[in-house]
């Protein structure tokens, strides 16, 4: 709860981008999650996780690195490093460490209009302790698309991972992730969003997901653009889902 209060205070008392129309244009440009250099720190706090009323805090460090290949194509890259602390996910035990690293890489055509990209997704079994890692490499395709309609932005990310080399003691997996996103920008750098995160593990026949309502505030601190995001998460699915969660993100932007 302290974390939530701190983010609310920062959002309410930090100086906003001075020109509201300029803030809208910046927010629209930054709504493409892979079109600019950024360093998001995405915190997810989940409560009363089945079946042991567990608790889990996940901080996803997600540097996003785009660069131009030539006049027609961009390379868009996202690296997800999950830092996790959890209690009673496995009964009467606590784990703190880093989970497997995910890389989403896209080849995207340059130009105006809809942004889209296609490329590989890679799971690197780098996590520790062993409760936080699959111990298997994963590889598969991923696709992203996003377009703006005035102040409204709609988009989606989808990828699939098949397990490859790794430990023989761990089960193979076939994992699909789908994330539709909608964002609406207001004056003064404010915004609201509705998104979902849905996943399916086909071999285990396990489906989980969350609906996320969030408010955002884009501010300028001594020339550094920072986007703050805060909102509740409501879960659904048939495997170890939390009762409720909170997302609180700080995104450092370098457009």
Q: The CATH number of the domain where 29 resides is what?
A: 2.40.160.40
pLDDT digits (tens, 9 = 90+) for 207-225: 999 999 999 999 999 989 9
Residue 161 lies in a domain: yes
- Cβ(96)–Cβ(90) below 8 Å: no
Residue 209 lies in a domain: yes
Quick check: helix, strand or coil at residue 129?
Answer: coil
pTM value is 0.86
Q: Which of 93-97, 118-122, 203-207 has the lowest average pLDDT? A: 203-207
Q: Tell me the pLDDT band of 110, cut-offs 50, 70 and 90.
A: confident
Task: Quote the domain boundaries for residue 39.
Answer: 2-48+58-69+76-254
pLDDT digits (tens, 9 = 90+) for 68-99: 899 999 999 999 999 999 999 998 999 999 99
Residue 30 lies in a domain: yes
The total number of structural domains in the chain stands at 1
Q: What was the pLDDT predicted at 135?
A: 96
Looking at residues 184-207, what average pLDDT do you find?
92
CA dihedral 101, 106, 112, 113 (to 10 degrees): -80
Conformational region of residue 112, where left means phi above 0, alpha means psi within -120 to 50, and beta covers everything else:
beta
What are the two backbone dihedrals, phi and then psi, of residue 239, each rounded to the nearest 5 degrees? -150, 110
Residue 244 lies in a domain: yes
CA–CA separation, 100 and 109 (whole Å): 29
Helix or strand run (H / E) with residue 242: none
Q: Tell me the pLDDT band of 239, cut-offs 50, 70 and 90.
A: confident
Name the DSSP class of 17. P
Q: What was the pLDDT predicted at 3?
A: 38
Residue 53 lies in a domain: no
Q: Which residues of 52-81 are buried (b: 16+ CB within 10 A; e: fewer)?
A: eebbbbbbbebebebeeeeeeebbbbbbbb
Q: Tell me the pLDDT band of 4, cut-offs 50, 70 and 90.
A: very low
Q: What was the pLDDT predicted at 188?
A: 86
Task: Give percent above pLDDT 90 in the chain.
Answer: 67
E strand intervals along 70-167: 73-87, 94-98, 101-109, 115-124, 136-149, 152-166
């Amino acid at each position: 709860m302290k974390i939530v209060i701190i983010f609310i205070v920062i959002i309410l008392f930090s100086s906003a981008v001075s020109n509201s129309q300029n803030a809208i244009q910046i927010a629209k440009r930054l709504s493409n999650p892979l079109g600019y250099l950024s360093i998001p720190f995405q915190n997810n706090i989940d409560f009363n996780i089945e079946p042991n009323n567990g608790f889990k805090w996940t901080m996803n460090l997600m540097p996003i690195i785009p660069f131009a290949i030539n006049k027609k194509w961009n390379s868009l890259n996202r690296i997800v490093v999950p830092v996790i602390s959890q209690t009673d996910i496995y009964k009467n035990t606590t784990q703190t460490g880093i989970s497997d690293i995910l890389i989403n890489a896209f080849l995207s055509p340059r130009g105006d209009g809809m942004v889209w990209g296609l490329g590989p997704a890679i799971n690197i079994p780098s996590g520790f302790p062993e409760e936080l890692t699959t111990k298997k490499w994963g590889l598969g395709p991923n696709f992203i698309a996003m377009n703006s309609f005035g102040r409204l932005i709609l988009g989606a990310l989808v990828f699939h991972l098949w397990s490859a080399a790794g430990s023989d003691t761990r089960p193979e997996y076939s994992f699909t992730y789908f994330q539709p996103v909608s964002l609406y920008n207001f004056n003064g750098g404010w915004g609201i969003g509705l998104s979902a995160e849905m996943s399916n593990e086909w071999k285990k026949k396990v489906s989980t997901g969350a609906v996320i309502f969030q408010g955002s505030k884009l501010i300028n601190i001594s020339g550094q653009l920072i986007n703050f995001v805060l909102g509740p998460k409501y879960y659904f699915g048939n495997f170890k889902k939390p009762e409720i969660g909170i997302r609180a993100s700080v995104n450092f932007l370098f457009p």
